[in-house]
Amino acid sequence: MRQLIQAFIEVEEKIHSLLEEVQSLKPYVEALAEENIRLKHEVCSLPENVTEQVIANARHLQGIANENLEKLYQEGFHVCHLHFAQPLDDGDCLFCRGFLHR
């Protein structure tokens, strides 16, 4: 009986310390939730010209990336996911072509 009581006391202590741990985490969770709301708000409130600039930059970079892949393929290397950067043995690859002209 004495052992049982001791075990109960230990479980109770563990539950207590877990509860304390959860409660100590609460402010962090709340702070993160607030930060998340603030960031969402910030993204939504970006001026339209900034948003357009970001989209234009992304398109520009995409264009450069495509050009580089095209060049790599012209120089005789795979740009497809299957054999990326390996030499084009047959001088042609359907997967590369499909990838470049999608």
The nearest distance, CB 65 to Zn ion, in angstroms, is 17
The nearest distance, CB 88 to Zn ion, in angstroms, is 7
Cα angle, residue 23 at apex, residues 20 and 29 outer, rounded to 5°: 145
The nearest distance, CB 67 to Zn ion, in angstroms, is 17
DSSP secondary structure letter of residue 60: H
Question: Between residues 17 and 86, which has the closer beta carbon with respect to Zn ion?
Answer: 86
Question: Between residues 6 and 86, which has the closer beta carbon with respect to Zn ion?
Answer: 86
The SS3 of residue 80 is coil
The span from the CA of 25 to the CA of 27, in Å, is 6
Question: Between residues 63 and 76, which has the closer beta carbon with respect to Zn ion?
Answer: 76
User: What's the burial of 93, exposed, middle or buried (CB within 10 Å: 0-12/13-18/19+)?
Assistant: buried
- Compute φ and ψ for 77, nearest 5 degrees: -125, 145
Question: Between residues 72 and 80, which has the closer beta carbon with respect to Zn ion?
Answer: 80
The nearest distance, CB 63 to Zn ion, in angstroms, is 21
Q: Which parts of this chain interact with Zn ion (CB under 5 A)?
A: 78, 80, 83, 93, 95-96
